[in-house]
Amino acid sequence: MLTKILPIYENDDFIVIDKPSGISFHNQQGTSGIHTLLKAQLGDNIWPVHRLDKIISGLLIFAKSQYVAAELGKMFEQRKIDKTYIALGDKKPKKKQGHIIGDMKKSRRGSWKLCQSKVNPATTHFQSRSLLPGIRLYWITPTTGKTHQIRVALKSIGAPILGDQRYSGSNAVRGYLHAYQLSFSWRDEHSNIHCRPNFGKYFVSNEITNLLNEFSLSNINTTLQTE
């Protein structure tokens, strides 16, 4: 039985879906990836714009033409699409907010590591709050899109993502990293698309609602002050 993919937003040019955690982008060892699943649901005329790691859930854009896919891809490269992720960790971070900046270098067995050099650095901004005793919520706004960037960034401050065993995260039912919000303008219309995670006991807890509202309001106020 094919996994039903939930559409979050759609217009004539693209569709934004809620990608489930645990599904790869490409087919792997006879298991359908998210692109194949979506084509089975919507038809072949769908083109990927960007990607999310297997452990990540949340917002993913697919275009309805090659032209739109290319244009949206350029917007990601030019940092004209603002991305917000949320993550959970169960270890005490070296710092509770700020910037994590450094070059990323391939490590062993498909992993990456953060370096102190800044030739072509990954840049990750974050804030955090206590969600529950022993569990911390991270509100993350990367300005680059490197492979495993957020996962490596949080590990570098001693706070690997809960469930992300590749980067020393504690065992959990899922990797607690979710692509929560996309904000961008397309054809003179601004879109601010967000999607709450719907799987994982900490992600669906009552406590998370107030914190997400707090983070959203804080960032809206910061934007208004700088305009």
Catalytic annotation, residues: 53
Residue 227 has pLDDT above 60, yes or no: no
DSSP 25: S
Model confidence over 42-54: pLDDT tens digits? 888 899 999 999 9
**How confident is the model over 63-112, as pLDDT tens digits?**
999 999 999 999 999 999 999 999 999 999 999 999 999 999 999 999 99
Interval 105-131: pLDDT, tens: 999 999 999 999 999 999 999 999 999
pLDDT score, position 220: 52
* Domains located in the chain, CATH noted: 6-226 (3.30.2350.10)
Mean pLDDT of the chain: 92
Q: Is 43 left (phi over 0), alpha (psi -120 to 50) or beta?
A: left
- Report residue 195 as tokens: 């999607």
Q: Is the pLDDT of residue 218 over 80?
A: no
Stated pTM of the model: 0.93
